Structure 1
Amino acid sequence: MHALRRRLHAFREHVRSKPGLNISYRVVLGVFGTAVLLAGILMIPYPGPGWLVVFAGLGILATEFHWAHRVNMFAKRYYQRWVRWLARQHLATKLAVMGATCLVVLTTLWLLGLFNTVGGWLGLHWTWLASPLFGP
């Protein structure tokens, strides 16, 4: 592990020594990290690794941008506070949070037209299944 870390550090120092390459490296890393971060943000309300992907995107950005490290630490701190708070709540509160999450998921699936698509597969052509964004 130490050998890999030394090689990565040497590579980064080599890139830093060449201004044009350094800027290109930072731009590519910034675009990639931002894409991962945005994908994670989109995944947050859905079952799966949304927050993990958000923290991964911030971690990628934090390798080059100090602001991303500060945002990552802030987000982790408040995420952990939220999880601890939710763990202490009554079952009714936990169910309300779960219900709100399900409502967000169902609303976005409807807006994206998934209900209409699946309804079409099943031969259901109900108007309320159609997304207001994409029409029937």
Structure 2
Amino acid sequence: MAGTVVVGLGLLLIPLPGPGWFIVFGGLFVWATEFTWAERLLAFARAKVGAWSEWLGRQPRWVQGLVGLATLAFVYGVVVVTLHVAGVPGWVPGWVPLWR
């Protein structure tokens, strides 16, 4: 039950800035203590994340920078869309023209 709650919370947080994937992996770790399929899935996910990190580490700085900028643009877009859909909280300064 705890793994389900942790994975569910992580899945909700993935598109938002923050540790969404980290929480999902934590939930998988909890599940892996009970289920063999979760242990295999966690091993697969670890291998893929490790391969991605290794590949990115071998790339030139400009490729790493482009990946970073693409990630930043995606997170910014998610924040802007979320604010447009959910509404802008009252504590956001009025001088932020894009959000109002």
TM-score by length of 2: 0.75
Identify which of 47, 60, 74 aligns with 1:77.
Answer: 47
Structure 2 residue identity aligned to 1:123: G
Query: Aligned-pair distance for 1:46?
Result: 3.4
> Tell me, which stretches of 5 or more residues in structure 2 are unaligned?
none
Does the Cα contact within 8 Å between 1:45 and 1:104 map onto a contact in 2? no
Q: Distance in 2 between matches of 1:50 and 1:112?
A: 16
> Tell me, which stretches of 5 or more residues in structure 1 are unaligned?
1-28, 131-136
Does the Cα contact within 8 Å between 2:16 and 2:79 map onto a contact in 1? no
Q: Which has the higher contact order (CA 8 A, sep 6+)?
A: 2
Structure 1 residue identity aligned to 2:50: Q
The answer to whether residue 17 in structure 2 is matched with residue 46 in structure 1 is: yes
Number of the residue aligned with 1:123: 94
Count, aligned residues: 97
Structure 2 residue identity aligned to 1:108: V
Structure 2 residue identity aligned to 1:37: V
More helix by share: 1
SS for the counterpart of 1:34 is helix
Provide the aligned C-alpha RMSD in A.
Answer: 2.8
Number of the residue aligned with 1:13: none
**Misfit runs of 4+, over 6 Å:** none
Number of the residue aligned with 1:59: 29
Q: Distance in 1 between matches of 2:76 and 2:32?
A: 33
Answer with 1 or 2: which has the greater Rg.
1
Number of the residue aligned with 1:88: 58
Query: Aligned-pair distance for 1:78?
Result: 0.5
Does the Cα contact within 8 Å between 1:45 and 1:101 map onto a contact in 2? no
Deviation string 1:76-106 (CA, Å, 9 cap, x unpaired) is 0010001111110011110111011101110
The verdict on how the C-alpha distance between 1:55 and 1:123 changes in structure 2, with shifts beyond 3 A counting, is closer
